[in-house]
Amino acid sequence: MQEHSHTLASALSADVQRDGFSFVTADTMRPLLQSSGDLSDWPAFSDSWNRLGPDPYLAAKGRFRRRRHATFTAAADGAIALAPHQPHYQALQYNALQGDIQRWFDPIEPSVANGASLQTILTFCHTFFGSLAPSVAQWHVEVHQFRIEANKDAAGEPTPEGSHRDGVDFVLVLLIDRHNIASGTTTIHTPDGKLLGDFTLTHPLDAALIHDPRVFHGVTSVTPLVSTEPAHRDVLVVTFRAKP
């Protein structure tokens, strides 16, 4: 199992080094995660997306999504620690809609932040991203729970800022659930707009691994398959940025 996971990780690492990104299907992502820990609380972990608070910054602009946020530190020796709750900040050059402001979101619930699934995901990211940047001594890690909702009157916008970079070193986008939605295709572009790839996260644990300085990423709007029923797309986004 460990040898197989090492082979999978090496192949993905080569993809990211060559292309700046990799699309990972659930049947590959699951053993990779399980080689880093366990997913024993996954039902409770995924259920926590039902308790996300609204994103007040987008709601003010007539767009709607739900989210929670947490910050961690990760040291080269492998230690990952939850940091005090703090705002999420992006420079205007990375987020034309909401850049240069401190945005406070509800914290990720302690049982989720300290639970097996999230700790396993963070351990995998730390090992994988650390292998791509072995000289980094300490990482600033941010974790975002997102739910994008759509209805018959308005499509849901997973990336309302459009194709963008996050202003970090590495990004994991992990699908948790999608219910009654069409589209939501992830697109990867060069800085000058050339399309490098596109794929749709369809099954729980489908993922994208992104080297943020090299490529832009975005997601197309989602619409309900059945207009009269609730529709949502749930993802976990984890970013790693080297501390100076």
Task: Domain ranges for the chain, please list them.
Answer: 2-242
Please give the pLDDT value at position 62: 43
CA 227 → CA 66, 94, 147, 233, distances in Å?
Answer: 20, 33, 18, 15
- Per-residue pLDDT of 127-173, as tens digits, reads 999 999 999 999 999 999 999 988 888 888 766 677 888 899 999 99
User: Which residue do the tokens 């997913």 mark?
Assistant: 39
- Per-residue pLDDT of 83-138, as tens digits, reads 999 887 655 554 555 545 777 899 999 999 999 999 999 999 999 999 999 999 99
Q: How far apart are CA 192 and CA 64, in angstroms?
A: 29
As a whole number of Å, the CA-based R_g of the chain is 17
Q: How far apart are CA 18 and CA 13, in angstroms?
A: 9
Q: How far apart are CA 88 and CA 56, in angstroms?
A: 13
Q: How much is the pTM? A: 0.92
Q: How far apart are CA 173 and CA 201, in angstroms?
A: 9
- Per-residue pLDDT of 22-65, as tens digits, reads 999 999 999 999 999 999 999 999 999 999 998 876 654 545 78
Q: How far apart are CA 157 and CA 184, in angstroms?
A: 9
Q: How far apart are CA 218 and CA 211, in angstroms?
A: 14
Reading the block at residue 10, the tokens are 């090496």
Q: Which listed CATH number (3.40.50.970, 3.40.710.10, 3.30.390.10, 2.60.120.620) goes with 2-242?
A: 2.60.120.620
- Per-residue pLDDT of 66-89, as tens digits, reads 999 999 999 988 799 999 998 876
- Per-residue pLDDT of 185-231, as tens digits, reads 999 999 999 999 999 999 999 999 999 999 999 999 999 999 999 99
Parallel, antiparallel, or unpaired: how do β-strands 138-150 and 185-189 relate? unpaired
Reading the block at residue 163, the tokens are 């194709």
